[in-house]
A and B are shown apart, each in its own frame.
Chain A
Amino acid sequence: EIVLIQSPATLSLSPGERATLSCRASQSVSSYLAWYQQKPGQAPRLLIYDASNRATGIPTRFSGSGSGTDFTLTISSLEPEDFAVYYCQQRSNWWTFGQGTKVEIK
C-alpha cells in the first residue's frame, strides 16, 4: 500500500497569507495525485487532480504541483472559507489518502 505523509499536521495562518501544504508518497505515484478540502460536518471536495489540474469551479488561488513522490498544494491568498482540512489522495496503486493538514486561523 502506498502511504502518503502530509506536512505539517497543522498550519496556522491569517487571511491573505499564502499556504503551502506538502504531501510525500512512500513510492512514486507519477502525477496521479489529487487534493481535497473538507470542512467540519461536510464531505470532502475535489480541488486538484493529476497533481496540477483544478477541478470544475475551483478558484485559481488553489494550485498544485509535483510529481513522483513530492507534491505541493498552494493557496496563494487565504480567504476565510479556505480554513479547513486538506487531504491528498493517490490513484497509482489502489487508492489511499494522506492523514490531512488542518489550515487554521492564526
Chain B
Amino acid sequence: QLQLQESGPGLVKPSETLSLTCTVSGGSISTSFYYWGWIRQPPGKGLEWIATIYHSGSTYYKPSLKSRVTISVDTSKNQFSLRLNSVTAADTAVYYCARMNDAFGWPSWFDYWGQGTLVTVSS
C-alpha cells in the first residue's frame, strides 16, 4: 500500500523559508505515469494546489506562487520536497503531499495523500 509522509518544521518565522519533504513508501517515486504534488489548506479553509513534479524533473507551479516556490525530487531517497520563500502569516496552513495520476500525459487527480503537516508562520 502506497504511503506518503510529510516532514519538516512546524514553525517558521516571517520572511524565512518553509521547507518540507515528502517520503514515499510502498512504491517507487520513479514509476511512470505518476506525478507528485503539494497542496495546502489554511485552518478552516479550502484546498489550494501549490506545485507538481515528475520524476524526470518536469515541474508545474501555481502561477501566483511561482516566484516563491521550488519543488524538487530525489529519486534515490524516494522523496520530493517543497521550498516556499519569504513566508508570511498567510502561508500558515496544513501542507499535504499527494500522488497525481496521469491522464494522457497530464497530471490529473490526487489519488494518494499524506496525512498533512501543520506549518505555522509566526515570530
- Please give the residue numbers on chain A whose beta carbons come within 8 Å of chain B beta carbons, in ascending order: 1, 32, 34, 36, 42-46, 49-50, 55, 87, 89, 91, 94-100
Using A87-B46, A97-B47 as known contacts, say yes or no to A43 and B109 having CB atoms under 8 A apart: no
Q: State the CA gap A83–B101 with chains docked (Å).
A: 26
Instruction: Identify the closest chain B residue to A46 (Cβ).
Output: B111
Q: State the CA gap A46–B112 with chains docked (Å).
A: 8
Instruction: Identify the closest chain B residue to A98 (Cβ).
Output: B46
CB neighbours (8 Å) of B37 from chain A are 95
Q: State the CA gap A95–B48 with chains docked (Å).
A: 8
In the complex the two chains form, is B114's CB within 8 Å of A95's CB? no
Instruction: Identify the closest chain A residue to B49 (Cβ).
Output: A95
In the complex the two chains form, is B47's CB within 8 Å of A32's CB? no
CB neighbours (8 Å) of B98 from chain A are 43
Does any Cβ of A come within 8 Å of B63's Cβ? yes
Q: Is the interface of A mostly helix, strand, loop or mixed?
A: loop
In the complex the two chains form, is B46's CB within 8 Å of A97's CB? yes
In the complex the two chains form, is B46's CB within 8 Å of A94's CB? no
Q: State the CA gap A46–B115 with chains docked (Å).
A: 14
In the complex the two chains form, is A91's CB within 8 Å of B46's CB? no
In the complex the two chains form, is A89's CB within 8 Å of B110's CB? yes
CB neighbours (8 Å) of B33 from chain A are none
Q: List 11 A-B residue pairs with CB atoms under 8 Å apart, sorted by A's residue number.
A: A34-B108, A34-B110, A42-B115, A44-B113, A45-B113, A55-B109, A87-B47, A91-B106, A94-B49, A95-B49, A97-B47
In the complex the two chains form, is A97's CB within 8 Å of B109's CB? no
In the complex the two chains form, is B111's CB within 8 Å of A95's CB? no
Using A43-B96, A44-B47 as known contacts, say yes or no to A91 and B109 having CB atoms under 8 A apart: yes
